[in-house]
Amino acid sequence: MSAREVVDVEARALPGLVQAVFSDAHSRTPCPRMQMAYAIQNGGAREARYLLSLGAGRPFTEWRVPAEGPLPSLAHQLPMLSWYEREMVDLFGMTFEGHPHPQPLVLHEGVKCLAPPMVGAVSEAPLDYPPVAAWTPTLDNPAIQHLPFGPIRADVVESAEFQFLYIGENILHYHPRLFWKHRGMEKRFEGCACVPAVILAERVSGVGSLAHALAYCQAVEDALVVEVPERAGYLRLILAELERLYNHLHYFGHLCQTTTLKVGEAQGLLLEEQVKQIIGRHTGSRLPRNLLVPGGLRRDLDLAGLDGALRALAPLIDSYLRHMERTRSHLDRLITTGPLTRELAYDQGATGPVERASGIDRDARRDHPYAAYAALRVDVPVEEGGDAYARACVRGRELRASLGLIHQALTRLKPGAIRAPLPPVMAGAEGLGWAESPRGTLLYAVSFRADGRLARVKIKSPSFSNWRVFPYTVHDSNMMDYAINEASFGITVAGCDR
């Protein structure tokens, strides 16, 4: 089955098509979901592409819309598209009519480009990017305080600027300003050969190196119609779940730090390190990098002893989770903090543990299986509370489920080939790949030039989606809970900025 079905759509038909597909989506089962939107340059013509899923087990659907002139903004109908449209304006110079928030997203005030960053043509004079500041409410009450915080923050926290309007400890309005260290990762892929480009994918977001490499490799394999050997599929699954383990343990350590549970912080980081050391003993590196390649794996892995090591660690993880569940001072800071309703999670595009904590039952490992997930039982934890406690509960249950998945995979792992050869690249070949990273659904769309090198790589990062959602849980909250709420989302700036 193809990864996606392509539908050509005229620009003027977009609003009506969205209405037909997404009306009453909240109440439908399965409910359709827009995944991302992005632009691509085909020769001298630009094209907007909208990727959506219509249900588990079905191919993704992609609407392709010529962008010869202004496109109608869909942000009023699908709010989660707001950032994607603004990104296309900044990076491709496109125009969307009727956008509710037309301020620049990626390019900050004062930027002067000779061309839109993702477009090759250069103009003689710098393009006009008006210095439009981020919108904030009018300060009509002298009691309202304005706190611009960042972009330089304490410790080793990534760069981001946050605008707070507050009275006392009550936050009235919050606006994050990201992309201070936008690295142009998608642009860096252009002209690369597909195999060494895995190195770039692994460095988009360091905490999700394996997930990014996996989604990228699967996109290339889809484009080249390559079937990965069975052993390679199981090894990829095991590595992906090991990455999920140490990410979630780091998450709990950081969450405990924000609730001042210092023993919990230390224990979470210790368990994270123990998982990384297990990975190091079986792969040669504490972080699972330099392992994947389009077609399979670079080399085979000896996983003898892995099951025993994880079985010895599992009671410690379980004890750690139970101790946090019994610590009232910790729970008091999580329960009712940063509530996110199911409707907001859907409308604004939440993904991963964040959406599952708000009652949305979605997980790409089960709904759109890849690697060896189709052969295993994938338990998907879902909570209804939508607060920081629910988000922690989902990740705690996912820790236990990941240990079970690794055990299932190890019992089925057989000797065999670990890499399939790649055929010659056909001009114009395109592919789609995805992975359920520790933070949510991660998507790569790739296309190739006539010389076999990459023409375009689009990355849909889960942190890009969840940073879009996060402010809705901050408004009308309080300053004392802000750090806890941010930690409960598990979002990264690098993953968003790219």
Residue 450 per-residue DSSP state:
T
Nearest C-alpha neighbor of 239 from the set 435, 445, 496: 435
List, in sequence order, the alpha helices (H) in 259-363: 262-283, 306-325, 328-334, 342-348, 353-356
State how far the Cα of 137 lies from the Cα of 172, in Å rounded to an integer. Answer: 9
Positive or negative: CA dihedral 464, 470, 475, 478 = negative
State how far the Cα of 226 lies from the Cα of 218, in Å rounded to an integer. Answer: 9
For residues 39 and 96, the answer to whether their CB atoms sit within 8 Å is: no
Letter for the amino acid at 144? I
pLDDT in tens, the chain (498 residues): 468 899 999 999 999 999 999 887 666 667 889 999 999 987 778 899 999 998 888 999 999 999 988 999 999 999 999 999 999 998 998 999 999 888 888 988 777 777 788 886 555 566 666 556 666 677 778 888 988 888 887 666 788 889 899 999 999 999 998 998 888 899 999 999 999 999 999 999 989 999 999 999 999 999 999 999 999 999 999 999 999 999 999 999 999 999 999 999 999 999 999 999 999 999 998 999 999 999 999 999 999 999 999 999 999 999 999 999 999 999 999 999 999 999 999 999 999 999 999 999 999 999 999 999 999 999 999 999 999 999 999 999 999 999 999 999 999 999 999 999 999 998 889 999 999 999 999 999 999 999 999 999 999 999 999 999 999 999 989 999 999 999 999 999 988 988
For residues 201 and 420, the answer to whether their CB atoms sit within 8 Å is: no
User: What predicted TM-score, i.e. pTM, was given to this entire model?
Assistant: 0.94
DSSP lists the bridge partners of residue 478 as 170
Instruction: Say what the pLDDT of residue 29 is.
Output: 66
State how far the Cα of 332 lies from the Cα of 389, in Å rounded to an integer. Answer: 9
Letter for the amino acid at 132? V
Cβ atoms within 10 A of the Cβ of 132, count?
11
CATH fold of 4-97, please? Answer: Beta Polymerase; domain 2 (3.30.460)
Encode 42-65: b = buried (16+ Cβ within 10 Å), e = exposed: eeeebbbbbbbbeeeeeebbbbeb
Contacts 24+ apart (CB under 8 A), 279-282: 279/242, 279/246, 281/305, 281/309, 282/306
Distances (CA, A) of 201 to 206, 245, 475, 495: 10, 20, 34, 11
- The answer, yes or no, to whether the previous bond of 294 is cis (omega within 30 of 0) is no
Same fold, 4-97 and 185-497: no
Secondary structure element (H or E) that encloses residue 199, with its range = helix 198-201
State how far the Cα of 141 lies from the Cα of 477, in Å rounded to an integer. Answer: 19
Instruction: Say what the pLDDT of residue 74 is.
Output: 96
Instruction: Say what the pLDDT of residue 119 is.
Output: 82
CATH fold of 185-497, please? Answer: Cytochrome-c3 Hydrogenase; chain B (1.10.645)
Two tokens at 128? Answer: 């006009």
List, in sequence order, the alpha helices (H) in 26-118: 81-92
Start-to-end CA distance of the chain, whole Å, equals: 31
Domain segments of the chain: what residues? 4-97, 145-177, 185-497
List, in sequence order, the alpha helices (H) in 73-148: 81-92
Sequence length of the chain is 498
For residues 274 and 313, the answer to whether their CB atoms sit within 8 Å is: yes
Q: Residue 442: helix, strand or coil by DSSP?
A: strand
Cβ atoms within 10 A of the Cβ of 230, count?
16
State how far the Cα of 247 lies from the Cα of 445, in Å rounded to an integer. Answer: 25
For residues 264 and 249, the answer to whether their CB atoms sit within 8 Å is: no
DSSP lists the bridge partners of residue 165 as 146, 173
For residue 476, the number of C-alpha atoms closer than 13 Å in the C-beta half-sphere is 5
Encode 429-460: b = buried (16+ Cβ within 10 Å), e = exposed: bbbbbbbbbbbbbbbbbbbbeeeeebbbbbbb
